[in-house]
Amino acid sequence: MEFVGQLQRQFVQFSHSLFDEGFLDDQFQQLQKLQDESNPDFVLEVVSLFFEDSEKLLNNLSIALQQQIVDFKQVDSYVHQFKGSSSSIGAQRVKNMCVHLRSFCEEQNLEGSLMCFQQVKHEYYLVKNKLETLFRLERQIIEAGGTVPFIA
Amino acid sequence: MEQEFLHVLAVDDSFVDRKVIERLLKVSSCKVTTVESAGRALQFLGLDEEKSPVEFDELKVNLIITDYSMPEMTGYDLLKRIKGSKKLREIPVVIMSSEDIQPQVNRCLEEGAEEYLVKPVKLSDVLRLRDFILKEKAPPYPQREHTSGKRKSRDESPASDSTSSDHLRPLRKRRKMAHH
């Protein structure tokens, strides 16, 4: 069982780092509280939906920002949606970057928007990676016969 | 003894948020119907031109919780339609929004929203809402003719038949339940 213990410690450490480094906020923990034996994959399901949704939004944003004449209202609308969904899963850094992007949109600042959009994407792929790692660790613990520690 | 479950209609154009609100409501022992737009909500409630797929009597919606910003028709417009309908105006409506803008909050409360919740909505918000609705629950449609003081916080006269926009309800602080 030494191996399970190791995995569990890794999981706890990694989880803490995600919160400490601001990748995730309290909302993610709220989602974890909603998971139980009757709905053991709830967090995974919501996050998967978020990934799906985000790919579409990022694609739409990319296209919208590449137009000859950028429709900032449209861009802002997409960012608003992205801000909403990232907030709903607790992806704090993504959400905060979306707030910045909205400011640039309000100013109709194309250069600022383009730069900030890159940062939004960067934050998104970072947290996506982190979450995939987190889920992988959970799976490994379960496959090794252990239970996933609850992070208070 | 049969336990009464609240039937909640949740309206949100975001996939993620629909999933979350559905879970929050189920964890709070509510029956949930989720729809992706105000248009669909009106259809479900039997308020649009086309015939509702389900007879309204069977629906027994006890609470409508809706996102504010939605394309085509906002939660605010949906609120107005519901409060403007004799059939549905007694159903409490709660607005959810990521935007914490006081004039927007006031507008919703003035139009008859029970509460304005800032997203992300928490389990504690939903539990509190549920308890409040259970306490104040009127029998589902068909309704009594008058509001007859079941909501003590309201100042409207029991015989009032006006549409919601005709009078100002006492403004409650955002995020606070009406006083019991």
Q: What are the angstrom distances between the C-alpha of A62 and each of A19, A57, B143?
A: 29, 8, 51
Place of tokens 């970057």: A97
Instruction: Report A:10-49 residues touching B (Cβ under 8 A).
Output: 27, 30-31, 33-34, 39, 42, 45-46, 49
Copy the structure tokens of residue A86.
Answer: 């990232």
pLDDT, one tens digit per residue, over A22-44 is: 999 999 999 999 999 899 999 99
ipTM of the complex: 0.93
Name the residue among B20, B23, B69 with its Cβ closest to that of A80: B69
| pLDDT tens track, chain B, 180 positions | 445 689 999 999 999 999 999 999 999 999 999 999 999 999 999 887 655 555 555 568 999 999 999 999 999 999 999 999 998 999 999 999 999 999 999 999 999 999 999 999 999 999 999 999 988 765 555 554 544 433 333 344 444 444 444 333 333 434 444 443
User: Cβ B20–A87 below 8 Å, yes or no?
Assistant: no
Judged by DSSP in three states, B59 sits in helix
Residue B135 has what pLDDT?
86
**Using a CB-CB distance cutoff of 8 angstroms, which residues of chain B are in contact with residue A42?**
23
pLDDT, one tens digit per residue, over A90-135 is: 999 999 999 999 999 999 999 999 999 999 999 999 999 999 999 9
pLDDT, one tens digit per residue, over B32-70 is: 999 999 999 999 998 876 555 555 555 689 999 999 999
Residue B56 has what pLDDT?
55
Q: What are the angstrom distances between the C-alpha of B140 and each of A7, A33, B73, B89?
A: 52, 32, 26, 12
The DSSP secondary structure of B105-166, one letter per residue, reads HHHHHHTT-SEEEESSPPHHHHHHHHHHHHHHPPPPSSPPSS-TTSSTT--S-TT----GGG
pTM above 0.80, yes or no: yes
pLDDT band of residue A48 (cuts 50, 70, 90) is very high
**Using a CB-CB distance cutoff of 8 angstroms, which residues of chain A are in contact with residue B119?**
84, 87-88
Residue B138 has what pLDDT?
54
Instruction: Report A:81-140 residues touching B (Cβ under 8 A).
Output: 81, 83-85, 87-90
